[in-house]
Structure 1
Amino acid sequence: GGGAGGLLHLSDYKLSAGTYTIVIGDGGAGGGTAFGQGQNGEDTTAFGFTAKGGGASGGWGGSGNVVCKTGGSGGGDGAYGSTQCSSNQPNPSQTGVTGYGNKGGSGTTSGGYRAGGGGGAGAAGQNGASAASNYGGAGGAGKDFSVAFGTDVGESGWVAGGGG
C-alpha cells in the first residue's frame, strides 16, 4: 500500500493577521497493474513548512519486484520484494513543530508473495503475510488528534494512516 503523506503538527504556533498561501499536494497514484509502479504524492506547503507527499507502493514485477518509494511515510514494498522504504519527513528544529512519518512494510520473498503495507504517521506499515495467508501487510496507523481537533477531522480524529 501507499505511504501516508508526512504530517506536521504546529502546536501554539502564532500567526499574524494577513493572507497566507497554502498548497495542498495531490495524493499518490497507484500503479494500476500488477507490473505498474505507483507515483509519490506531492508535497503540501504552509507557513514556510513542508509536509512530504506519501511514498508510492511497489508492484509485482514477475521475476523481480517494482520497489516502493520513500515519502512522507514510506510506501509498502511490492510482492516478491524485501525493501522497507523509509520516511523522508523531516522533524523541524523549531520549537512547537513536530514531524511524523514511518517506513513501509516489506514484501514477502517466498511462497505467496504478499506486498507490504504503507507507513502511517503513527506507525510503520506491516510486512506482507506468510504464504499461508492471502493478505498483504496492513497500512501503518495514523495519529489520533481527536483531543486537539475533535472527531469531525479525518476519520473520527485520526489522520495520515498508510494504505494496506
Structure 2
Amino acid sequence: MISSDYCRVMARYNDWQNTSLVTAADELSDAARWQNRGAFFGSIAETFNHLYWADALMLARILGNERPQDSITHSLAKPKKWNEFKILRLERNVEVQNWADGLSDQDLTGSTAWIPPGGTKRVQMPTALCAVQLFNHQTHHRGQIHAMLTAAGVEPKPTDLSAMP
C-alpha cells in the first residue's frame, strides 16, 4: 500500500506546508487570525489548533495509545497566543518527522486500534491506512487554512509536491 519512504516524504511536506501557512498567517493581526470566516472550524486560528491537536491524537494512536484523548486535550481555543502556537506547531512537525524517519516498511503492517472519545467500542484500521489518514487529514485542513489566508489577502507558498524544496 504505502512505504516508509512515502511517510518520510509526507512528513517533510507537512513541515514545509505548515511553515508556509504559519509564515503567511504572521502577516495577519491576531484578531484577523481568530475572525470567524465561515469555515468548518470558524477561523484560521481554530483550524490551525484543530490540526495541531488532531495530529497528536492520530500519531499517538499509531504509536499504540488506544485512548490518547485521556492525555491529549483537543481544543479549538488553545493555544490562544500566536507565538506559543508557532513553537508548538514546530515541535509537532518535528515529532511527525522523527516518527517518519524512524519507520520501516514493517512498521506499517498490521493494525492500529483505539477507542474514540466518548466511545466504548474499539476502532481498528490497518496501520498503513492510519498513516495515510494522518497525512490526508493534514492536507484537507491546510487547504481550508490556505483558502482563508488567500481570502484575507496573504499568499502562502505553492502546495505542489514538485515545488517542495
Same-fold call, TM cutoff 0.5: no
Higher helix content, 1 or 2: 2
Larger RCO, structures 1/2 (Cα 8 Å, 6+ apart) = 2
Higher strand content, 1 or 2: 1
